[in-house]
């Protein structure tokens, strides 16, 4: 399946016709080509966005919410295909792509459409004047997204950006272009005005960089790695572009001594290994109270060892492929580092598949891996691995758990498992992070703020935070007679 750019309502090749290969992670086989876009393609997309900008901004919020609903309906009618494409492109189990990626991509559009209907202009009364705060569109916004949850994360930005009256130049990851293309197909099908959504494909340092540098693009919403985020900020901040940075994580799963054992084990597996650990929110460090650590670890190892890893299309598969062989090698280098740092591999660490047959040996598979015996200050325990690797550490008091949880440069998310939710709540407030779940993980109310502190990012998205980011407030102060 060959992907094209979507510019001004048309599917087009890169101006110079250059292409890249798109490979399936589970088999190493060629899916098709994508445009290798560069500066002229971004210029073309910005020009198309400029043409569409004013008419789109002049629509009412309700009219734009209707467009979001139309996109949601059209995407939903193709959700099986959406999940198939996502699974093919990422190597994740089809069942996971259906349950998470396809469902949430549709929900993102529906949520922002519904949420907008509850919005009112803010009014601040003074004795002798009234202030009315309007939210105006920013103009052309640049959206840059990663490969782990391709349309889920892109739609999380596209929906509020369109809703607030902006027009878009988006760049999906070069590793997973298929569902952004499906979104473009859907927008063309329903007759979204030409140029409102433009998608350019290709490498980050080529086409992504041009989005960052283009004077006509006034805001950048970026989700990706911390090193790239630093570069995005260094490029866009001196141009005074509005910036939202959703970056990496090294999240702690904290198991207190009063946790319900089975719930904590299930929770730690879900938090640690969903999407082969390739979710920024994954709990890649388990901190467990020493009094229950042996029993907890025994259950955890037994269950993780039995996980079925292999063919993403088989309904029994729990662990799919990683994004590509280069990433497998990067994750393996961390497993080797863990051994050098004195860690013990309790299960996994190898490339075998244990599930039903299907993928070829060229598939990017790695067994879910648990490692114990490392200091919480080791590099393995502090750096983001972004794979199916979870380290286990023991603590003896709530204070020690908090200190260990905070001992990384990251601060995105985490979870606490306890029968005493008041105690959990009190610990949560001492952890330097953006989100903490108690007795659950990735339980999302889309009205709540999403984002991190420290090296996990700057700003928040979600609910009114997204509407705030994708708009400029205009305060009109009217003096009374
Ligand atoms: P990445 O930083 O390599 O790439 C992200 C996007 O940036 C891609 O589209 C890439 O092409 C583009 N890019 C790369 N260089 C660029 C440049 N110079 N200019 C402009 N764009 C450029 O990240 P990735 O490997 O695709 O994704 C994995 C990372 O994303 C992990 O660190 C993960 O934690 C993070 N992530 C964070 C969140 C969050 O919400 N905080 C969500 C998902 C993933």
Q: Domains in the chain, ordered, with CATH?
A: 5-247+456-479 (3.40.605.10), 252-445 (3.40.309.10)
Residue where the block lists tokens 């998310």: 413
Q: How far is the CA of 74 from the centre of ligand 1 (A)?
A: 28
The torsion angles phi and psi of 446, rounded to 5 degrees, stand at -70, -5
Give the residue numbers marked as catalytic.
Answer: 246, 280
Segment-wise mean pLDDT, segments of 10 residues, the chain, 481 residues: 97 98 95 98 99 98 98 98 98 98 98 95 96 97 98 98 99 98 98 98 98 98 98 98 98 98 98 98 98 98 96 94 97 98 98 76 92 98 98 98 98 98 98 98 98 98 98 97 90
- Mutual orientation of helices 150-163 and 79-90 as an angle, nearest 10°? 130
Centroid of ligand 1 to alpha carbon of 309 (angstroms): 25
Task: Look at ligand 1, atom 18, and give the residue with the nearest C-alpha.
Answer: 205
pTM value? Answer: 0.98
Which atom of ligand 1 is closest in space to residue 227's alpha carbon?
2
Minimal-distance CA residue to ligand 1 atom 20? 208
Q: Which pLDDT does position 362 carry in this prediction?
A: 81
Ligand 1 pocket mutation pick from 203, 228, 281 by most atoms within 8 angstroms of CB: 228
Check if 462 has its Cβ closer than 6 Å to any atom of ligand 1. no
Closest-CA residue, ligand 1 atom 30, reads 224
| Distance from the alpha carbon of residue 209 to the mean position of ligand 1, in angstroms | 13
Q: Is 281 in the pocket of ligand 1 (CB under 6 A)?
A: no
Give the pLDDT confidence score for residue 120 in this predicted structure: 87
Nearest alpha-carbon partner for 264 in 298, 300, 231: 300
- Give 475: exposed, middle or buried? Use CB within 10 Å, 0-12, 13-18, 19+: exposed
pLDDT value of position 16: 98
Beta strand spans in 45-172 (E): 122-125, 129-137, 140-144, 167-171
Q: From 152, 176, 224, give the residue whose CB has the most ligand 1 atoms within 8 Å, as the site to mutate.
A: 224
Which atom number of ligand 1 is nearest to the Cα of residue 229?
A: 2
* 177 ligand 1 Cβ < 6 A: no
Residue 22 CA to ligand 1 centre (angstroms): 17
User: Do residues 245 and 458 make contact, with C-beta atoms less than 8 angstroms apart?
Assistant: yes
Instruction: Report whether residue 37 contacts ligand 1, using a CB cutoff of 6 Å.
Output: no
Which atom of ligand 1 sits closest to the CA of residue 202? 11
With a 6 Å cutoff on the Cβ, whether 143 touches ligand 1 is no
Give residue 87's pLDDT.
98
CB 248 less than 6 A from any atom of ligand 1: yes
DSSP letters for 344-356: EEEE--S----S-
Protein residue with its CA nearest to atom 31 in ligand 1: 225
Distance from the alpha carbon of residue 452 to the mean position of ligand 1, in angstroms: 15
Strand locations in 24-180, DSSP E? 30-35, 122-125, 129-137, 140-144, 167-171
Q: Which atom of ligand 1 is nearest to the CA of 461?
A: 40
pLDDT at 326: 97
| Pocket perturbation via mutation, ligand 1, pick of 37, 143, 204, 284 by most ligand atoms within 8 A of CB | 204
Q: State in Å: Cα 145 to ligand 1 middle.
A: 6
**CB of 31 within 8 A of CB of 89?**
yes
Cα distances (angstroms) measured from residue 70 to each of 160, 188, 193: 14, 12, 13
Do the Cβ atoms of 132 and 123 come closer than 8 Å? yes
Q: Where are the alpha helices (DSSP H) in 256-415?
A: 261-273, 293-305, 325-340, 379-382, 398-405
At residue 447, the pLDDT reads 98
Q: What is the pLDDT of residue 105?
A: 98
Dihedral angle, C-alpha 52, 55, 58, 62, nearest 10 °: -80
Of 366, 368, 355, nearest to 312 (Cα)?
355
> Using CA positions, which residue lies closest to atom 14 of ligand 1?
204
CA–centroid distance, 146 to ligand 1, in Å, is 4
pLDDT of residue 197: 99
Cα-Cα-Cα-Cα dihedral sign, residues 414, 419, 425, 430? negative
Largest CA distance in the chain: 79
Choose among 220, 247, 256, 259: nearest CA to 236: 220
Does the beta carbon of 173 lie inside 6 Å of ligand 1? yes
Report the pLDDT value the prediction gives residue 353, as an integer from 0 to 100. 80
CB atoms within 10 A of CB 12: 17
């Amino acid at each position: 399946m060959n992907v094209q750019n979507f510019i001004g309502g048309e599917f087009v090749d890169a101006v110079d016709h250059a292409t890249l290969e798109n490979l399936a992670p589970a088999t190493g086989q060629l899916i098709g080509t994508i445009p290798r876009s560069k500066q002229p393609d971004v210029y073309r997309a910005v020009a198309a966005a400029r043409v569409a900008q004013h008419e789109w901004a002049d629509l009412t919020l309700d009219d734009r919410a209707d467009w979001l609903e139309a996109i949601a309906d059209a995407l939903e009618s193709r959700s099986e295909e959406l999940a198939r494409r996502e699974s093919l492109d990422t190597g994740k189990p089809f069942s996971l792509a259906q349950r998470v990626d396809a469902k949430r991509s549709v929900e993102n559009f529906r949520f922002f459409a519904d949420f907008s209907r509850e919005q009112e202009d803010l009014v601040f009364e003074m004795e002798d004047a009234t202030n009315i705060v309007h939210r105006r569109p920013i103009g052309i916004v640049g959206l840059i997204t990663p490969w782990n949850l391709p349309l889920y994360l892109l739609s999380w930005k596209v929906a509020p950006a369109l809703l607030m009256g902006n027009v878009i130049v988006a760049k999906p990851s070069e590793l997973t272009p298929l569902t952004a293309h499906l979104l473009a197909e859907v927008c063309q099908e329903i007759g979204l005005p030409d140029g409102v959504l433009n998608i350019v494909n290709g490498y980050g340092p080529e086409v992504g960089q041009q989005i960052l540098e283009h004077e006509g693009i006034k805001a950048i919403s970026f989700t990706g790695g911390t090193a790239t985020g630093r570069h995005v900020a260094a490029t866009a901040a001196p141009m005074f572009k509005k910036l939202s940075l959703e970056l990496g994580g090294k999240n702690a799963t904290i198991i207190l001594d009063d946790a319900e054992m089975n719930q904590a084990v299930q929770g730690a597996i879900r938090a640690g290994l969903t999407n082969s650990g390739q979710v920024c929110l994954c709990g890649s460090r388990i901190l467990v109270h020493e009094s229950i650590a042996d029993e907890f670890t025994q259950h955890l190892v037994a269950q993780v060892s039995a996980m079925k890893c292999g063919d993403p299309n088989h309904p029994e598969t729990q662990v799919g492929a990683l994004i590509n062989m280069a990433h497998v090698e990067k994750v393996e280098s961390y497993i080797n580092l863990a051994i050098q740092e004195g860690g013990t591999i309790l299960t996994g660490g190898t490339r075998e598949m244990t599930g039903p047959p299907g993928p070829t040996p060229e598939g990017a598979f790695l067994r879910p891996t648990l490692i114990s015996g490392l200091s919480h200050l080791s590099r393995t325990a502090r750096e983001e691995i972004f794979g199916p690797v979870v380290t286990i550490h023991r603590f003896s008091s709530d204070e020690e758990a908090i200190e260990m949880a905070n001992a990384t440069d990251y601060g995105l998310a985490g979870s606490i498992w306890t029968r005493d939710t008041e105690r959990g709540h009190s610990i949560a407030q001492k952890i330097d992070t953006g989100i903490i779940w108690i007795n659950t993980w990735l339980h999302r109310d889309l009205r709540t703020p999403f984002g991190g502190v420290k090296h996990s990012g700057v700003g928040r998205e979600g609910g009114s935070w997204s509407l705030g980011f994708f708009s400029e407030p205009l305060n009109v102060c009217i003096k009374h007679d």
